[in-house]
Homo-oligomer: A and B are copies of this chain.
Amino acid sequence: MRILVLNPNTTAAMTAGIRDLAEAVASPGTSIVATEPLWGPESIEGHFEGYLSAAAVLDRLTTFDEPFDALVMAGFGEPGREGAQELLDVPVLDIAESAAQMAMMLGHSYGVVTTLDRAVPQIRDRLLTAGLLARCAGVRGTGLGVLELEADRERTVEVIVATAREAVERDGAEVICLGCGGMAGLRERVSKALGGLPVVDGVAAAVKFAEALVGLGLSTSKARAFAPPRPKTITGWPLSGRRPGIR
C-alpha cells in the first residue's frame, strides 16, 4: 500500500524528516510518499497560518496525480482534516489525533509537549473536537518555534525532556506525545531520557493506523459529516489544479 504523508508547511527539509520517520516505521509492503503544499507558510505557528495551510493542503490534494491508499496529515493540531475526509475516498489520519489515540492505548493519561505556548489552546481545541481530551493530562509548550527545533538537535531534546518531566510530575502524564511534526525522529532519545516512559510520535502513530485501516478495507464514513462535497461553482479559486467537478 502507499501512504501519502502531507507536511502542511512548505519547508521541504521538514518534509524530508517526516518522510524518513514514516519510512522507518512503515511495514514491509508499505511505501511512503511525502510532499508539502505548492504554496503557503514555511511553518505553522498559529491559526492564521493554519487556515492558509488547510486550503493549501486541500489544494495539493486536488492536484496530486499519483494514487494513494491513505493520507497522513502531518500538522499537529492544524485545521483541515475534515475537508480532506470529504474530498477523499481513502482514510485520513491527523497526527495530533493519532498521537492522542495511541497514547490512550498505552497509559491512563497522556501529556503533549509542543512548540510555542500559543499553540496550546489550539491543540487542546483540536483534541476536544476529536473527542480525545478526557484523558489528556495537559499540553505544554517548550518555547521553541517550529523551525528552531532543527537548529540544535541536542538542545531540542533537552528542552523537550525537561518539559515532559513537568508533564509527568505536575500533570500526572503517563505517556508523552511529541506535539509537532518537526519533532519527528526524537522519540527514542526522549523516551530514553525519561527512563523508558512511552513517547508517541504522531507521524509514526498515524502511519501505523493508516496501515491498520487500509488492511481492514475501511475508510471514512460518507453518511453525514464527511459526505462528498456537493457539486458547485468555485469561482476564481486559485487552486493549482482542478479536481473533477470543480468548475
A42 partner, pick from B27, B135, B211, B234, beta carbons under 8 A? B234
Given A128-B129, A131-B132, A226-B47, residue A175 in contact with residue B234 (CB < 8 A): no
Binary interface encoding of chain A residues 138-172 relative to chain B, with 1 for a CB under 8 A from any of its CBs, else 0: 00000001000000000000000000000010001
Report how far A175 CA is from B218 CA in the complex, Å: 11
Binary interface encoding of chain A residues 188-227 relative to chain B, with 1 for a CB under 8 A from any of its CBs, else 0: 0000000001101000110011011101101111011111
Q: Does A220 contact B135, Cβ atoms closer than 8 Å?
A: no
Given A45-B230, A58-B51, A209-B212, residue A197 in contact with residue B223 (CB < 8 A): yes
Q: Does B83 contact A48, Cβ atoms closer than 8 Å?
A: yes
A118 partner, pick from B25, B29, B48, B224, beta carbons under 8 A? B224
Interface residue total, chain A, C-beta cutoff 8 A: 91
A131 partner, pick from B54, B93, B104, B237, beta carbons under 8 A? B104
A107 partner, pick from B79, B221, B235, beta carbons under 8 A? B221
A212 partner, pick from B10, B129, B212, B237, beta carbons under 8 A? B212
- For residue A108, give the distance in angstroms from its CB to the closest CB of chain B: 4
A41, A79, A106, A212, most chain B CB atoms within 10 A: A212
Q: Which 7 A-B pairs have the closest CB atoms?
A: A39-B236, A55-B55, A208-B212, A131-B134, A238-B238, A107-B221, A47-B82
Ordered by A's residue number, 9 sampled pairs between the chains whose C-beta atoms are within 8 Å are A49-B232, A55-B56, A82-B122, A106-B221, A121-B224, A134-B134, A205-B212, A205-B216, A208-B216
